[in-house]
């Protein structure tokens, strides 16, 4: 029994949204069902819910809240189980904010609408669950709802490409090049399906036949923005469209901010391609930084307000300046061997000897005087330069060819 529902009803609802999974025990099914319920009860990022679920399991937490346990006792129980300190007051406030949404039929509806839409419910034990979500601690989502190829969430090289909706032609061009280049290097492109940079990141990945994952701030049955209906349909076919909110949920400002934490946590690095000072992608960058994930920012003209947010990330948030797909890949894969430029290897004395020479032959003494070097040093430098084919000796002296 969970939320007063019959076991068979729960099992049928869960299998609607997990049609291809092997059958599991009644307890496990109840746990999955409870996670579906929690995904609609607690707002994204609710740390008290995350702590309670971690302590009692999703079903246990649901039962405790439903059965109106004393919040003080509940807080104490959580402390015993997890070592997390929750105050009686925060638990009481949390139970009060969850209770208006404790409706058994809601969870049933989430699962059946997902099933009808072809969206799958994922829980933390599933192999597709993004490994990076572990770093979210109590703020990790209770569940994920996924349209498309859920296996892409377990891609070995996920990288976030995000940026402003108000992108310029420059930003979109750089984004397309970056996305294509990263796909060529085996990366999966994670973004938020917004207009501008996000959309271009997905679009270029799809065009290159690459893997791409869009995290939405509302349910996966409500593509947002509506102008990206066709793009999101293609992502759902060739990639994955994912949300922590159940079907029927609308995006809100709060949910956009919390969605950004999932983009950052699901990715090994986050790159802000183009962003003004008020772009929401700076919030994603902040999540990446606070998760300790590498953060890259693409510079642009200082005369472009659309790049001012990227420049701020470079100035104030220690973002790495990235200018192409190689440098973005390096955020994840570490530095590659630097190129040693021939010019920098040249000895100072050789430079000075070459400076002192021309196509007219000169004696070693003349060269020494002009270069401000001893005759011996000039002889030695000339020897090396001759080997490199940069100077030659003539009957009347040394010259540059």
Query: Interface residues for its own copies in 260-299 (CB under 8 A)?
Result: 278, 298-299
Q: Does 374 bind its own copies (CB under 8 A)?
A: yes
* 199, 300, 362, 398: residue in contact with its own copies (rule CB under 8 A): 300
Residue 69 and residue 75 in contact, taking contact as beta carbons nearer than 8 Å: no
- Cα 170 to Cα 336: distance, rounded to the nearest angstrom: 27
- Cα 306 to Cα 354: distance, rounded to the nearest angstrom: 47
Tokens of 69: 């346990």
Give the per-residue contact string, 169-208, with its own copies (x = CB under 8 A; - = no).
-x--xx----------------------------------
Shortest spacing between CB 49 and its own copies, in angstroms: 10
Q: Does 96 bind its own copies (CB under 8 A)?
A: yes
Question: Toward its own copies, which CB reaches closer, 111 or 322?
Answer: 322
Q: What count of other Cβ atoms lies within 10 Å of the Cβ of residue 8?
A: 9
Residues 6+ apart with CB under 8 A from 210: 179, 180, 182, 183, 184, 187, 188, 189
Question: Toward its own copies, which CB reaches closer, 140 or 352?
Answer: 352
- Cα 35 to Cα 45: distance, rounded to the nearest angstrom: 14
| Number of residues near its own copies (by CB under 8 A) | 58
Shortest spacing between CB 112 and its own copies, in angstroms: 21
* 98, 145, 223, 398: residue in contact with its own copies (rule CB under 8 A): 98
Please choose, out of 75-83, 91-99, 108-116, 385-393, the segment that lies near its own copies by the rule CB under 8 A. Answer: 91-99
Q: Does 369 bind its own copies (CB under 8 A)?
A: yes
Q: Which of 181, 177, 180, 205 is nearest to 191 (CA)?
A: 205
User: Does residue 215 sit in helix, strand or coil?
Assistant: strand
Q: Which of 29, 105, 42 is nearest to 53 (CA)?
A: 42
β-strand 144-148 against 240-243: which pairing, if any?
antiparallel
Question: Toward its own copies, which CB reaches closer, 29 or 249?
Answer: 249
Q: What count of other Cβ atoms lies within 10 Å of the Cβ of residue 40?
A: 22
Largest CA distance in the chain: 106
Residue 397 and residue 362 in contact, taking contact as beta carbons nearer than 8 Å: yes
* 37, 206, 373, 391: residue in contact with its own copies (rule CB under 8 A): 373
Q: What count of other Cβ atoms lies within 10 Å of the Cβ of residue 155?
A: 25
* 7, 87, 186, 254: residue in contact with its own copies (rule CB under 8 A): 254
Query: Interface residues for its own copies in 63-82 (CB under 8 A)?
Result: none
Question: Toward its own copies, which CB reaches closer, 167 or 174?
Answer: 174
β-strand 295-297 against 320-321: which pairing, if any?
parallel
Query: Interface residues for its own copies in 313-352 (CB under 8 A)?
Result: 314-316, 320-324, 327, 338, 341, 343, 348, 351-352
Bond prior to 225 in cis (omega within 30° of 0): yes
Shortest spacing between CB 383 and its own copies, in angstroms: 16
* 42, 65, 91, 108: residue in contact with its own copies (rule CB under 8 A): 42
Residues that bind its own copies (CB under 8 A): 41-43, 46, 93-94, 96-101, 170, 173-174, 252-255, 257, 278, 298-303, 307-308, 311, 314-316, 320-324, 327, 338, 341, 343, 348, 351-352, 354-356, 365, 368-369, 371-377
């Amino acid at each position: 029994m969970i939320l007063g529902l019959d076991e068979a009803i729960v099992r049928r609802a869960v299998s609607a949204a997990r049609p291809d999974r092997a059958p599991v025990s009644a307890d496990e099914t109840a746990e999955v069902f409870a996670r579906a319920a929690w995904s609609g009860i607690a707002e994204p990022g609710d740390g008290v819910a995350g702590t309670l679920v971690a302590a009692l399991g999703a079903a246990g937490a649901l039962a405790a809240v439903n059965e109106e346990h004393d919040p003080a006792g509940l807080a104490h129980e959580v402390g015993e189980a997890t070592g997390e300190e929750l105050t009686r007051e925060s638990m009481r406030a949390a139970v009060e904010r969850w209770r208006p949404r404790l409706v058994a039929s809601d969870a049933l509806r989430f699962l059946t609408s997902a099933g009808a839409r072809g969206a799958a419910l994922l829980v933390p034990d599933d192999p597709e669950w993004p490994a990076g979500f572990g770093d979210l601690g109590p703020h990790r989502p209770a569940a994920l709802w996924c349209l498309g190829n859920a296996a892409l969430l377990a891609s070995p090289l996920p990288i976030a490409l995000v940026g402003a909706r108000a992108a310029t032609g420059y930003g979109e061009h750089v984004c397309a090049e970056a996305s294509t280049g990263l796909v060529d290097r085996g990366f999966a492109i994670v973004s938020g399906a917004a207009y501008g940079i996000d959309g271009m990141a997905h679009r270029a990945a799809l065009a290159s036949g690459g893997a791409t994952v869009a995290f939405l701030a509302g349910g996966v049955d409500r593509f947002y923005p509506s102008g990206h209906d066709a793009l999101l349909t293609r992502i759902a076919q060739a990639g994955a469209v994912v949300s922590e909110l159940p079907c029927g949920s609308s995006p809100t400002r709060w949910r956009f901010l919390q969605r950004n934490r999932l983009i950052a946590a699901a990715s090994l690095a986050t790159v802000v391609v183009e962003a003004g000072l008020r772009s929401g992608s700076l919030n994603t960058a902040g999540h990446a930084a606070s998760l300790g994930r590498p953060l890259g920012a693409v510079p642009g003209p200082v005369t472009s307000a659309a790049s001012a947010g990227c420049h701020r990330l470079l100035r104030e948030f220690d973002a790495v300046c990235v200018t192409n797909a190689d440098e973005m890949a390096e955020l994840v894969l570490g530095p590659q061997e630097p190129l040693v430029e021939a010019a920098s290897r040249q000895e100072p004395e050789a430079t000075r000897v070459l400076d002192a020479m021309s196509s007219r032959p000169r004696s070693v003494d003349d060269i020494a005087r002009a270069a401000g070097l001893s005759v011996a040093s000039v002889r030695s430098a000339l020897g090396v330069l001759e080997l490199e084919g940069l100077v030659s000796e003539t009957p009347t002296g040394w010259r540059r060819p």
